[in-house]
Every structure is written in structure tokens, then in C-alpha cells.
Structure 1
Amino acid sequence: MGNNNSYFRRKKLNKLLNKKSDNKILDFEELEEELKYYLPNSSEDVDRQHMYHFFKRYLFQGNFSSPIEESLIQGKCKVLDIGCGPGTWLLDLANKYERSYFYGLDINPVFPNEIKPGNLKFIKADMFDGLPFPDNEFDFVHQETMSFIIKADQWNFIISEMIRVTKPGGYIELLESYSTTNGIGPILDKLHKAHLSSCIQRGVEMKIIPKLDTIIKFNQNTPIVHRDEKFYILGPNGGKIGMVNQDVFLGFHNNEVAMENLSPLLGISKEEYKIMITKDLIEEIRHTKPEYLLIKFWAQKITNNNNNDNNIFLN
């Protein structure tokens, strides 16, 4: 996916961050207009997701934390990535572990259909309709950065589906970002509040993210959940990593769809929003240390009994 320029940009970023590690558009009418902001809809959005993949891989020094490396090397693994986007995570793994098999699922088909490894298959489907696979199908089921899309009352269903299609002895793994209020300036604080307001309007509750391990544990087949957290500083005061993430962050906000969605919530015009993102926010970040968090959860499925009709509510 993408053109030659995007390829070389990803190659350059990979070299920078990889010094130590080796990695139906149907129903859109039913989605609220704001959701366009959180899904890749252009080559620039796709490039941003490619960059963000390498950023996350560098922070965690790898593409996964579950103990599946040996199985991947031996070729015993069947891997599913839910909400795969342009498929960067899968392309990274499929090229490295040629004897294993990889599947990507997304409602928005921005993934490559032709130029991809033979052990990788992409499927256009809506995860909210249930995963289109039988029980106990995959050795590893993975999902990343869906916190702006999954509503508060949908997390239990999505996680239960992940566990359902995972084989006994296999693993599920989730990685999500979470913003803190530490070190932020007034402009970024306003932007955070606009995001929260947008999320609330769509039924999305960001406070659930640090508690996802509770939902995973609630399923009787995944009683033990492992957790890893990585903090980083946005902007120049966070070093090279901070600057890479600043590029991703600004790219996420500096587009027409973002302006249409967030400027009314901020009470400013599109022109004022543009100035805020491209000038005022950049200047503020130079003098502050905004702290962000990536949280990873992983758990092993221990039994075949994966019927769990209970629900969980988190305040």
C-alpha cells in the first residue's frame, strides 16, 4: 500500500527505530460521520499508521509480548490481527516468520491485496458482527489501537470473540494508547477534552482502557492477564522517539476531517484550528513534556469451555 515515497519513508523510519529489534466498506452510513477521523482514508493516513507501527515496535522492542516466538519460527502458528488497518504489523511478521500463517481483518480495506507474502491473507469484515471464524481456530489473536472505535458496551463482546476463536493454549494480546494529564500545556489540554467529548458522543469511554485486564480476566478461560506499560514524552523533550510520535500525532490532527470534527467541539473556526495545530501546539510542546502511555495486555486461553454470556460494567 502507498507509493514509492511512502515506502522510503517507512524504510528510513525502520532504520531509525530498529537498531535493536529484529518484527465491507459497507455499513459506513451506519457509522457516525466522526468515525472517519479515526479510520485511515488516504495515503497520508496509511503512512501515519505505518510510522506508528514502527514507533510501537521500538518502544516494546518487538511486535508481541506473548511467548509464541518458538512456534512462529517452527511454523506452527496461525495468527489473526483484528482491525489490521494497512496490515503493517502483519506484513512485518509474515515476512519474518515464513512458515506460519497470518490473517488480517478490517472493515476498511486499506490493506494490500496483491503485493504481500503468500502466507498472509486479508479479509474485509466487521468485527462488531462477530469474528467470521469457528471456535478454537488461531494460536494467537492480536488487536491494537482500537480505543477510539470500540464503545464501552462493546469491549466485552470483542474480547470474548477474541478468546472464542483462540485455541486452548493459545494467546490473545491487546495494545492500546492512553493519554495522561502529566506535563501537558493548556492547548493540548483543550485538544484532549475535545477528543473526550467526541468519544462520549459516540459511546466510547477512554477510562476503560487501563482496565481491559479486568474484562479479560472476567472470561473464565483467561484468568491470568499479563500487563506491560511504556511511557513516553511527546515532542522534542522526548528525544527521537518523542519527535517521531509528534509527526504521527500532528498528522493525525492536521487534516480536513479532523478540523471538521474537532473545531466545533473546541469552539473555533477551521482556520483557527489549523493555526492551533500547525503553530501554537508545536510551540507549546517545545516547552512542555506531555506524557503518554502505551498499555499491552496478554493472556493464555486455558480451556475449551469458552461459553461466557456474562457481561461486565466498569465505572
Structure 2
Amino acid sequence: MGQSLKKPVKNGINGVAETSKKSNEETYLKSLSVLEAHRFIQGRKFCLAQNASLALPRDNEEAMRINKVTKLIKVLFGSNYSAPVTEFLTCGGAKILEIGTGGGLWLSEMSIEYPMSIFLGLDITTIFNPMYRVLQPGGWMEIHGTPSEIIGAGPATRRFMLAVRQCLQINGHNPDIVRTIPEKLRSLNVKNIQVVEKPLLLSRNGAPDEQIDDELLLRTVEAFRVIMKVAIGCTDEEYDELKRNVGLEAETTKMHIMVIRTFGQKDAE
């Protein structure tokens, strides 16, 4: 966390070496204070504060994409959560903190479904490290995410995901951090840890209507455009070609990504 985006000399998506470019993308490399935390780059809004390191935009378009993912994950698991807290939420008086509110859909739906409980959402301006400090004894913590791997991906989609992993690693992120969550929770004395995994379909081929958004994969590719151009090095033309090929593969192959929910209970002490 807290690192500005780095731009090493690397091969582009199509294997062409890129030299440094004098353009407004260089703004993305500059460390900014919290008061200068947002900049528009190629029409997308990014959070560039020193106390945060985000690869994707923070604008309405990204919020809509996140909300669509939230809807699909709810359908996939049959609920907005997996931890055994239904009775706790229904009885009232429960206090729920969502860290990383994103588009706000999860928080909105939960507050409507359980009006007797209290819901609070925090996003990029406040970061808890570790989150364990905000969990009361006996309380439950649930974290969800996806590894940066698409199963059944075609050649273009594999190139895209390889570039995504490079971008994340360049900026100090672990592309597979979701797999390390159980170990991290155990180190914080969280008990009763459980992991639930389900495949989220990314291509229409054989997918039920309620479990697929035809544009989700392409929206994700578009969300990575700016960081990909800066950190990996590629032109808009190269990126457009990659996006078209990913779209074709989404129509002709069966691809999916694993969605992982990890939850556990803080020791009652």
C-alpha cells in the first residue's frame, strides 16, 4: 500500500518493447497527498493518494461494473454473505462495517433486508491495517475476492491476465492474495475459518441467463486500459485489438473465474 504506480521497461501485450512516453499518463506516476488524491487520466478518475495503491479507476463507470459483479456473486452464492450471521442480523442491534464499499450495492441491499441492524461503509479514504481491530470478540469477518486467473481462457484472454498479474506485481500487489486470507486470519486468532468457492461464468456459452453478464469481461478489460498502458507499455490500437480478441473468445469458449468467500469468527477471548 502507499506506492505510486511504477513504470519499468517491459514488453507490451503483443511482445513489443515500449520506451517511456511523454504524455498525461505520466501523471499516474506521481505520488500525491490526500488533498490531491484524484486525477482524471484519459477520461477516467483515479485515486492516487500516498496511503492507497489502486490499479483500477474510481469513477461511476467502475462503480457500475462493481455493482454488476456484486449482483452476479449474490446469484452465484444465493445470498449476499456466507457467514452464519442471519439470526444476528435479523434480531437487530448488529453493527456491520463494509470496508471497500465500491458501488454501494451490497451495503444498500443489506440495509434494506435487515433494517434493524446498523450498516456502515468505508472506502479508499480510510484504511484499517489490520482490519481485526474493528471486529468485536465473537464477531464474524467475511472477505471475498478472485485470484487473477481465468480458467478455460483462450490465447488473448491469457495474454490479458498475464499482463494484469504483471501490473499488480509491479505495484506491490499479490495477484493471488485471496488465497492467503485463511492464513492471515489465523495469524489474527480468528477461529472457525471456512472457505467457499464457486465458479463465475464469463462467457455466454452454456451459461444460464441469471449467472452471466455478457459485457462483464470486456468491462474489466476496459477498466485496466490505463494502468496497462502505463505499467506494461502498449498503444491504444494494440489494446483495442486485444479487447476484440477477448470478446471473440468470450463468445466461443467456456471461461470462468473462481469467486472465493472466506469467513471466520474472532476469538471471544
Return the TM-score normalized by structure 1.
Answer: 0.65
State whether residues 76 and 211 of structure 2, in contact with CA within 8 Å, keep that contact through their aligned partners in structure 1: no
Following the alignment from structure 2 to structure 1, what is the Cα–Cα distance between the partners of residues 181 and 137? 21
Describe the shift of the 1:45–1:78 C-alpha distance in structure 2 as closer, same or farther (beyond 3 A): same
Q: Which residue of 1 aligns with 2:123?
A: 106
Higher helix share: 1
Matches of residues 67-82 of structure 1 in structure 2 within 5 Å?
67-82=84-99
Change (3 A) 1:242 1:263: farther
- Measured on the aligned residues, the alpha-carbon RMSD in Å equals 2.4
Summarize the Cα distance change of 1:300–1:91 in structure 2 as closer, same or farther, 3 Å threshold: same
Q: 2:182 aligns with which of 203, 210, 213?
A: 213
The partner residue of 1:274 within 240, 244, 252 is: 240
Q: How big is the shift at 1:202?
A: 0.7
Check conservation: 1:177, 1:294, Cα contact below 8 A.
yes
Picking from 93, 99, 106, the partner of 2:110 is: 93
Output aligned runs, 1:1-315, within 5 Å.
27=37, 28-31=47-50, 35=54, 37-41=55-59, 43-107=60-124, 125-127=125-127, 130=128, 158=129, 161-180=130-149, 182-220=151-189, 222-239=190-207, 240=209, 243-244=212-213, 246-254=214-222, 258-263=224-229, 268-277=234-243, 279-304=244-269
The answer on whether the counterparts of 2:148 and 2:176 sit within 8 Å (CA) in structure 1 is no
- Displacement of 1:30: 3.7
Q: Partners in 2 of 1:55 and 1:290 — Cα distance?
A: 15
Greater relative contact order (CA < 8 Å, ≥ 6 in sequence): 2
Pick closer, same or farther for the CA change 1:201–1:179 going to 2, 3 Å.
closer
Amino acid at match of 2:75: Y
Instruction: Find the aligned partners of 1:291 and 1:178 in 2 and give their Cα distance.
Output: 11
Query: Mind listing any 5+ residue stretches in structure 1 that lack a counterpart?
Result: 1-23, 108-124, 131-157, 305-315
Give unpaired runs (5+ residues) of structure 2.
1-33, 38-46
The 3 A distance-change label for structure 1 pair 26 and 301 is farther
Q: Which residue of 2 aligns with 1:9?
A: none
- Structure 2 distance, partners of 1:104, 1:44, is 19
Report the identity percentage: 25
Say which SS state the counterpart of residue 40 (structure 1) adopts. coil
Relative to structure 1, the CA distance from residue 174 to residue 25 in structure 2 (aligned partners, 3 Å threshold; closer, same or farther) is farther
Matched residues in 2 for 1:207 and 1:183: separation? Answer: 18
Equivalents in 1 of 2:238, 2:52: separation in Å? 22
What do residues 239-262 of structure 1 show as CA deviations (whole Å, max 9, x unaligned)?
A: 125641x4222112225xx33322
